[in-house]
Structure 1
Amino acid sequence: MSFRFHLQATDGAARTGRIETPRGEIRTPAFMPVGTAGTVKAMMPESVAATGADILLGNTYHLMLRPGAERVARLGGLHSFMNWERPILTDSGGFQVMSLAGLRKLTEEGVTFQSHIDGSKHLLSPETSMEIQRQLGSDIVMCFDECPALPADEATVKRSMELSMRWAQRSRDAFGDRPAHALFGIQQGGVTEELRGESAEALTAIGFEGYAIGGLAVGEGQEAMFGVLDYAPGMLPQDKPRYLMGVGKPDDIVGAVKRGVDMMDCVLPSRSGRTGQAWTRRGQVNLRNARHADDPRPLDEACGCPACRNYSRAYLHHVVRAGEMIGGMLLTWHNLHYYQELMAGMRRAIAEGSFEAWEAAFHAGRAEGDIERL
């Protein structure tokens, strides 16, 4: 089976469909939990699957440095290595190089940088990124691009976008013919509509199996991000999946889907879970707060995850404050479960033509705030 996208229904700009891959189907809109170094932190792979996730994201930068892409390839590829047989998307490594690596040097060839782990020197280019992702064996491969931090002046954003488009062509050439795998191009251009349009035209001319909207959620704020999403998805081919990289909070995700985005990823649900933060239909809850210490009620009575089904707020408060590992495990499971329920709710609403009413109920629930303290 080759990679295919089927658009099943629309409601305004919102879309629902499915992506077919040899490793399974991805229901869209889809949220991808982030498995940075071959694991979703605090979760077993089967637990991640139980939340409803169809696909995970792996980080090229982290995996190339440790344990190494060649080692992963020798051991059967990333799916076998991390015991996840469903689809995997790997990012190109570009964002982590720009944000994490020290002493980096950017040229037309690529980016030379020092590892944050041991200081060793490496070169990431479109060609090396494609080879590393081939060794990892991911189902969806991302082009190598540059992602400048915002705010930035328009001349800087334009130079960066044009470099990324040249790298996109090199990525396409280096990717080669891999029928069971997909390569996604990445639209850049900051918050400037004209530059976004130029980027979309360049990517469409090259031709990809899917298209990402990059360079957002990097400091510009939600209002500016939504301003770009009001037009950017419509610049990309209608018959291909659209992926908004690195987003985000629940209201970010709902706003993105409303504007035509099909796929998203973010570390937030797992990172929040490890710090005692829970995302619920009534907003965010901090389990470290003393108000939960004697509360026998579940975190969310309408949630079917193990944290809500089997444990009280008092217990969750206790294990979080005590630094017990089970606290991060239970809250991460809850957060990922909530995010997947969010996606399932939007898929149903779009298919039924009731997305506007669903969105209103979503915001109304969050506006209520957490349940009254005892």
Structure 2
Amino acid sequence: MSTASFSLTATDGAARTGVISTPRGEIRTPAFMPVGTAATVKAMLPENVRATGADILLGNTYHLMLRPTAERIARLGGLHRFMNWERPILTDSGGFQVMSLAGLRKLTEEGVSFKSHIDGSKHMLSPERSMEIQRLLGSDIVMAFDECPALPADRKRIEESMRLSMRWAQRSRDAFGDRPGHMLFGIMQGGLERDMREESAKALTAIGFDGYAVGGLAVGEGQEAMFSCLDYAPGFLPQDKPRYLMGVGKPDDIVGAVKRGIDMMDCVLPTRSGRTGQVFTRHGVVNIKNARHADDPRPLDENCSCPACTSYSRAYLHHVFRAQEMISGMLLSWHNLQYFQDIMAGMREAIAGGRFAEWEADFHAGRAEGDIPPL
């Protein structure tokens, strides 16, 4: 019997709030998972990621299997100890990265053979190997191995891909075995085709998973198409299990997804944007490299509790970004992660209080105001 569980505490429309309980700690939902691709959330110390309010991180199977290798991480005590994060970790299956990053690759019923984007070495990833790697890493939430076609794709391609993913889902379930305290999530596919999403959800539910992801979105289809899929897709999945939208997204994508019944999300956006000088605030996006900030003694966001906002001016943040100082990426990544976690906390509170629609209206109104006027 798994010692990991999910309980819903409140709903407001389709929006839900609850708790995923694991032996390594509780994950409050809706949850945003910062991405720790290579066993690090870029430019952040683990304790600082935790300070923003993150309950769980995401690690990348594909990157870690290539470097430093899952076997080495296992010898060194597992991913949690290796990266100094003792709370829950979710690992993806590697399928998406193989499709998007790997060199020459060949897809068969067995799995995907590919060349490493690092050194050209040859590897094979199958449902069984993905489960083995994630077991070696020791992650708390394991993702089934799937195939994700880039959209737009024709219906026949989406159908073949989805059915292959469902066969792989069964193999992932079989290979995962019985691991008390660890959860295995299945991944719904089917592109933007409603009937295929439903078929995929039925196949996954029949196999039986601890949670379910909506995969194959945020791959270039646009927000409107994504939202229209999310208007029905989460409803095909069991009510009593967590639902995870993979690779999303911008703040308004996240809010729109939660409104439609999603419990978990992840994205590289807060840290990647932080390193390139793009800052998310309650009043929209700020580009710190713009000259208007050069003499501005005010904080980025006076309502934010992160160090970038409480201890530094826009002028300083502009200066260190322009000078390519390392602290720039550190402070702006921290701020962005804090903002994303503040959004999640705000939504959890609003859903629990039955005020989600009101909260959402305030969120959009604040962002529509735009940045404070220049001095």
TM-score range, shorter chain: over 0.9
| 1:315 corresponds to | 316
For the residues of structure 2 that align with 1:154 and 1:130, how far apart are their CA atoms? 29
- In structure 1, what residue type is equivalent to 2:120? G
Alignment: residue pair count: 374
- Aligned partner of 1:216 in structure 2 is 217
How big is each residue's C-alpha offset from its partner over 1:60-113, in whole Å with a ceiling of 9 and x where there is no partner?
A: 000000000000000000000000000000000000000000100000000000
SS at match of 1:359: helix
> Mapping of 1:81-100 within 5 angstroms?
81-100=82-101
Whole-Å separation in 2 of the counterparts to 1:244 and 1:361: 24
Which residue in 1 is equivalent to 2:334?
333
Give the alignment of 1:48-63 within 5 angstroms.
48-63=49-64
Tell me the residue number matched to 2:128.
Answer: 127
Distance 1:149 1:54 in 2: 30
Structure-2 residue corresponding to 1:71 = 72
Secondary structure of 1:336's counterpart equals helix
Deviations 1:150-174 (A, max 9, x none): 0000000000000000000000000
1:172 matched to 2:173? The reply is: yes
Where 1:102 maps in the other structure, the secondary structure is: coil
CA–CA separation in structure 2 for the residues paired with 1:283 and 1:154? 37
1:95 is paired with a residue whose SS is helix
The superposition leaves residues 285-330 of structure 1 with CA deviations (integer Å, 9 ceiling, x where unpaired) of 0000000000000000011100000000000000001100000000
* Partner Cα separation in structure 2 for residue 11 and residue 51 of structure 1: 25
**Aligned partners of 1:140, 1:119: CA distance in 2, in Å?**
29
Instruction: Find the residue that maps to 1:5 and give its secondary structure.
Output: strand
Q: Within 5 Å, give how 1:170-319 maps onto structure 2.
A: 170-319=171-320
- Taking structure 2 as the reference length, what is the TM-score of the superposition? 0.99
Query: Helix, strand or coil: the match of 1:43?
Result: coil
- SS at the partner of 2:201? helix
Q: Which residue of 1 is the match for residue 106 of structure 2?
A: 105
2:21 maps to 20
- Distance in 1 (alpha carbons) for counterparts of 2:53 and 2:180: 27
Aligned position for 2:8: 7
Identity %: 81
Describe how 1:37-48 pairs up with structure 2 within 5 A.
Answer: 37-48=38-49
* d(CA) in 2 for partners of 1:367, 1:82: 39
2:340 maps to 1:344:
no
Unpaired segments of 5 or more residues in structure 1? none
Deviation at 1:179, TM superposition (A): 1.1
Q: CA RMSD in A?
A: 0.5
Counterpart CA distance in 2 for 1:282 and 1:261 is 24
Scaled by the length of structure 1, the TM-score of the pair is: 1.00
Can you list the C-alpha shifts for 1:314-354, whole angstroms capped at 9, x where unaligned?
00000001100000000000000000000000000000000
SS, match of residue 6 in structure 1: strand
> After the TM superposition, which segments of 4 or more aligned residues of structure 1 sit over 6 Å from their partners?
none
How far apart, in 2, do the equivalents of 1:121 and 1:303 lie?
Answer: 46
